[in-house]
Amino acid sequence: MSRREQILSTLRSTPALPTPAIRVVQLVQDPEVDIRELTEAIRYDPSLTAMVLRLANSPYFGAARSIGSVQEAVMRLGTNRLFRVLMASAVAPLAQLAVRGYDLAPGKLLEHAVGVAVAVERLAASLPKRAPNYAFTAALLHDIGKIAMGSHVRIDAKPIMDLAFRQNLSFEAAEREALGIDHAEAGAVLLELWNLPPHLVEAVRCHHEPDKAESDTLVVDLIHAADSLCLLAGIGSGADGTHYRPTAGVLSRLRLGTKLGERVVCEVASSLEDLTDLLTVSTGDELKCH
Amino acid sequence: MRVGIGGNNVSGQTGSLAVTHTVGISNMQTTGRPNDVLVTYSLGSCIGLTLLDPVAGVGAMLHCMLPLSKIDKAKADRNPFMFTDTGVPAMLQAVFDMGAERRRLIAKVGGAASLLDEKGLFRIGERNYTVLRKILWKNNILIAAEDVGGTVARTMYLYMRTGQTVIRSRGKETEL
């Protein structure tokens, strides 16, 4: 079996990634909970978003059409079912917050995912055309493949980075060279297994190679540009550093240069400060996840 | 901003506590304690700057993100350490207030990385570094050592006990 086939087989046996949904559980346990606040708390948590979308799209809930956003999922599930889903995901084994293979300390992947999601919203706001709602979801999930590759397949990014330097490859190209698959495709494979909508899968699959996207290039462009900015600014970066190549066509389509890039980075940094409360779990709960 | 590793870790015996202070993104920390360690993680295009006056026993570390505060003056007023042009002067003032002297200050720099960006699409790191040099030059401070540019994420340490500034990137540690 090739390395790629081995990895694909491991991915197929990877369960939906649970998360310490402590904050959400705290909200759910409040009888006066505001459903909008709850939706917000889910939206900023990539693993939880994946879980909720996966369940909302599962045959059990009789999904007639694909659900691509948390708001739709909340409506489809209804408050009671949503609460059960959230509670179940909280008591399920807690997600390893650190992604060792990529040298991501606890909290870093989350910081990156939220940073990219916020950057996507800010970049979209600068455009005349409205971006679809699922852009935010896709941004949150864009690196979900790193969790699977780093924690389940247990790849080590360091020799891949060495290969990238030796052969003058971008990091994800070196992943393909070494493993036969990169973290973007691995993420797409997982999302496909979880029956998420194809356009969302496509956006995750193509986030480092936006010119390969066949549909909805706006979302792919937004994620690619937002990811480039967050990696550059060190927002949740790991062993792969800034070793990625931005695509010129994307930046010109989004009319994005250094100036707008700096403004977006500034806004993302401030939003991350504001979002800290929403994302923070107490230290005791955090320790349990290590 | 919270960072993944760290917070303040205390180790060692009572009486000679070595305390590690994590300097978050858009933040600065000074110290006058001989056993302190200052550390900052995830330096991409950001600037990491350490200042040390070995005679006064005063050290500081800055992690600033963006070159110029004019993109958001209100933010710079609330937190000057987000920007290089406001963060460096505020840092200098802070170490002077603690008794450091300009002529003794040792300045070391890490960060200012870029993407694999042959076309120069985003020049944030480069601009950060240019602004930094200009401000230090205006203040008559030379850069004693640096590890800047490239496509790596860096972690930067300042060990007050030895006065060393150390950069960790791609699994290797190098003293500046």
The ipTM value here is 0.88
Question: Could you tell me the pTM of the whole model?
Answer: 0.81
Q: Can you give the pLDDT at residue A146?
A: 87
pLDDT for the residue A72: 82
Give the number of other Cβ atoms within 10 Å of residue B67's Cβ: 26
- pLDDT of A153 higher than 80: no
Query: For residue A117, what pLDDT band results from cuts at 50, 70 and 90?
Result: confident
Task: Kindly determine whether residue B26 and residue A269, on different chains, have CB atoms separated by under 8 Å.
Answer: yes
Q: Among A135-139, A279-283, B85-89, which is the least confidently predicted range?
A: A279-283
Q: Which of A66-80, A95-109, B133-147 has the highest mean pLDDT?
A: B133-147
Q: Is B14 a residue whose pLDDT tops 50?
A: no
Identify the closest residue of chain B to A162 by CA–CA distance: B170
Chain A within 8 Å of B125 (Cβ-Cβ)? yes
Contact A87, A28 (CB under 8 A): yes
pLDDT over threshold 80, residue B157: yes
Least confident of A149-158, A195-204, B6-15, B84-93: B6-15
In chain B, which residues have their Cβ closer than 8 Å to the Cβ of A101?
Answer: none
Long-range contacts of A165-171 (CB under 8 A, 24+ apart): A165/A243, A170/A208, A170/A243, A170/A244, A170/A245, A170/B116, A171/A240, A171/A241, A171/A243, A171/A244
- State percent of chain A over pLDDT 70: 77
- Please, is B141 exposed, middle or buried when counting C-beta atoms within 10 Å of its C-beta (0-12, 13-18, 19+)? middle
- Model confidence at A100: pLDDT above 50: yes
Written as one string, the DSSP assignment of A182-236 is: -HHHHHHHHHHHTT--HHHHHHHHTSS-GGG--S-HHHHHHHHHHHHHHHHTTTT
Q: Output DSSP code: residue A14.
A: P
Strand partners, A142: none
Lowest mean pLDDT among A129-138, A207-216, A241-250, A280-289: A280-289
Mean residue pLDDT across chain B: 90
Q: Which residues pair with B146 in a beta bridge?
A: B109
Chosen from A109, A232, A282 to mutate, greatest number of chain B CBs within 10 A:
A232
Closest by CA to A243, choosing from A233, A254, A232, A229, is A232
Predicted confidence at residue A15, as pLDDT, reads 65
Contact B153 A237 (CB under 8 A): yes
Q: Which residue has the higher pLDDT, A30 or B6?
A: A30
pLDDT score of B29: 97
Residues of A in contact with B151 (CB under 8 A): 241-244
* Residue A285 clears pLDDT 80, i.e. is over it: no
The arithmetic mean of pLDDT across residues A55-69, rounded, is: 70
State the average pLDDT over residues A96-113: 74
What residue type is assigned to position A219 of the chain? V
Statement: residue B37 has pLDDT above 80: yes
* Run of H or E residues at A24: helix A22-29
pLDDT at position A167 over 90: yes
**pLDDT grade for A110, boundaries at 50, 70 and 90:** confident
Query: Of A44-58, A103-117, A223-237, B18-32, where does mean pLDDT reach its minimum?
Result: A44-58
Q: Do A234 and B119 touch (CB under 8 A)?
A: no
pLDDT at residue A30 greater than cutoff 70? no
More confident: B123 or A150 = B123
CA distance A11 to B133: 48
Show residues of chain A in contact with B114, CB under 8 Å. Answer: 232, 242
**Segment holding B61, helix H or strand E:** strand B58-64
Q: Is B21 helix (H, G, I), strand (E, B) or coil?
A: strand
Rounded to whole angstroms, the Cα distance separating A181 from B28 reads 40
Across the beta sheet with B58-64, what order do the strands follow? B27-31, B58-64, B47-53, B106-111, B143-148
Q: Could you give the percent of chain B with pLDDT greater than 70? A: 90
Phi, psi of B58 (to 5 degrees): -115, 130
So what's the pLDDT on residue A31? 61
Q: What is the pLDDT of residue A27?
A: 64
Interface test with A, best of B121, B131, B148, B155 (most A CBs within 10 A): B121
pLDDT at position A290: 28
CA distance B52 to B38: 12
CA A169 to chain B, closest CA, distance in angstroms equals: 9
Provide CB contacts within 8 A for A257, sequence distance 6+: A251, B121, B122
B142 in A contact zone (CB under 8 Å) = no
Q: What is the pLDDT of residues A188-207, one digit of tens each?
A: 998 888 777 788 889 999 99
**C-beta atoms surrounding B9 within 10 Å:** 13
Q: Is the pLDDT of residue A288 over 50?
A: no
pLDDT in tens, B53-110: 999 999 999 999 999 999 999 999 999 999 999 999 999 999 999 999 999 999 999 9
Give the highest mean pLDDT range of A88-92, A94-98, A209-213. A209-213
Q: Mean pLDDT score of chain A, rounded to an integer?
A: 79
Q: How far is B129 from chain A (nearest CA, A)?
A: 14
Structure-model confidence comparison of residues B119 and A188, the more confident one = A188
pLDDT-derived band at B1 (thresholds 50, 70, 90) equals very low
The alpha carbon of residue B154 is apart from the nearest alpha carbon of chain A, in Å, by 8
